[in-house]
Structure 1
Amino acid sequence: MPVKTLPDQITDLLIAFVFTGKLVPGDKLPPERQLAEYLGVDRTSLRMALRTLTRMNVVHTLQGSGIRVLDYKRDGGLDFLGDLFKIDELELGGDFLLSGLELFIRSMPAAMRMSVEKSSKGARNSQGRVLGVVHKMYQGMQNGDDHRQLATLEVELIDTLLESTDNVFMQVAGSSSRQIRQALTEKSYELIDVKAHLDFLVGLMMRIVSGVADMDDITKQYVEYIVEAVKPLKDYFLTLPSGPRLISSPLHNGKNIMDLDDIMKKNIIGVD
């Protein structure tokens, strides 16, 4: 992975503060000069980071009122989630991972159905792409590929399925979540019978691309299977701390900035 620029590191740090609740909606950031000095960064890099956060609707600048933190759950978008997944120093927390897994379980049947509908209207090349990935998965199983390689193929299969829906929201959501899906799939593979899982996926996709399977039956079968298949992963998430936390500073300038309490005056007794 390429080394992140200083503006990107500052962006990651402030996103992590928002996500972990160290900065909450309505908080007013210190003046630019003061914040740059506290972080140990130049004002140009800080300005670039703040512009990125403004475009992401994480902060908002009002003339005469300074920079205020927005509610990422209400105002943010997929780019906020996409950045979260790329911050190696941030533990996302069991609750967040469980909610993402639940969304994935519910969205996949819709993606499969939309993919079939597109194919039935003439987009046959999508079937070929899905079959190509299915073939690679089958070959990977036969060749004894390791769990990471096989997990990468499952992620590629899902990406191909999302692409075949020709739905921009499905595709962008898939792109934003690719990194975390890779990590979760690899973790799941540590907990399940991988061969049985891939046998099921390959068989299911072959039925879908054949065009003869009933989609109501396919989606029902998938949901029943996946609910059981992810139980070990859900159990693992329940062993994790429920909330997110920073394990080290994303700002790699030797200062190890882990909060803004001093500069935000949040270290006063009785103040959250």
Structure 2
Amino acid sequence: MKNFYKKFKEANPKFSGIKLLFIIALFVFAIGNTFRSFEFSIDYIIVFAAFIIAAVSHEVAHGYAAYLFGDDTAKKAGRLSFNPLKHIDLQGLLLPILLLLCGVKFLIGWAKPVPVNFSRLRPYRTGFFVVSVAGIFVNFVLAAVSLLLLRTFFSDSYHIFYEDIMVRGDLLHEIVVKFFIYFFFINVLLGVFNLIPVTPLDGGRIVYSFAPKPVKDFYDRIEKYGILIVFALLWAGLFSNIFEKVFDFLIKLLGG
């Protein structure tokens, strides 16, 4: 247990105690719900696989964009790889697992951020902006590809009504169709989530890239509290209406 906490603290030097308590609280809540209502479904495996690919692609995009603008920090760290083991973040991985155990099929989570030395980017301002937006851009591109494949090849074989997805065909066909549906949703929602203008999310970085000095100073002060601020805003339901409208729009795009 001591070794686990030591490793956790090394990976999360800021507010490690608060973060660990938050994870434990979620874990206890999820376990309690699991014994009462959890029923295994192959959908959980499909969703988790789609989430891992989307999250890893997001981080690789940041690292590769930084490399193109002169910073090879991510490359030297071996983070321009699609091997998910190189991108696992304890909190970001546990959160979607716990949400799945609670019966939620559309996830929030993250991979370990790639290391970027922003001072090495040239030209600096353009590089900062491109690196910040790269992950979101790739998520939206992957979502667009998924939508194109679904509407071109599978439009007559599925029907969606919010979390209920009905697919006609054999098991392999069902797995493929559901993968692209979940991959579409997850990439769009991951991109939208990262547009929240609070650092260390990408939306905050994007604002930071062209903001005047007083705004940058403000972001520098709040960044260490960033994730806690984001969760507080989500908990307060500030973005719930936006996410609901996005979700409804995505279902219409899919023809559900």
TM-score by length of 2: 0.25
Name the structure where helix makes up a greater proportion of residues. 2
Answer 1 or 2: higher relative contact order, Cα 8 Å, separation at least 6.
1
Larger of the two Rg values belongs to structure:
1
